[in-house]
Amino acid sequence: MIFKVDPENIKNLIIPNSYLLFMLLLLAGFFFLLSIILMSSKRSLWWSVLIVTFIYLRVMGIGGLINGLLLLSMGLTFDIYRKLKS
């Protein structure tokens, strides 16, 4: 799908200007990759949602360095909190 389908054709598939199908495929790909690397499905789901959120912000034109650093710090804080809690 990534190589054969024009992004403009799936841009407005369900929600206008959302690239929903591409974002769901990206989320699944990051989730499976990170679940192998991190050996934890909860952590991989959290990090893959943060990565896809940042990519979605970049597509919308508001994803910059500060937004990326804020998402990264939020992810690290939540990850450390979960490790200390258990």
Structural domains of the chain, count: 1
Rounded Cα distance between 26 and 56, Å, is: 10
Q: Is residue 55 part of a domain?
A: yes
DSSP 21: H
pLDDT of residue 13: 82
Average pLDDT over every residue of 55-68: 92
pTM to 2 decimal places: 0.87
Does 41 fall in a domain?
Answer: yes
The reply to whether 2 falls in a domain is no
Q: What is the extent of the structural domain holding 26?
A: 7-85
In angstroms, what CA-CA distances link 38 with 13, 14, 48, 54?
33, 32, 11, 20
Residue 79 has pLDDT above 90, yes or no: yes
pLDDT recorded at residue 22: 86
Whether residue 16 is contained in a domain is answered as yes
6-47 confidence digits (pLDDT tens): 878 888 888 888 888 889 999 999 999 999 999 999 999 999
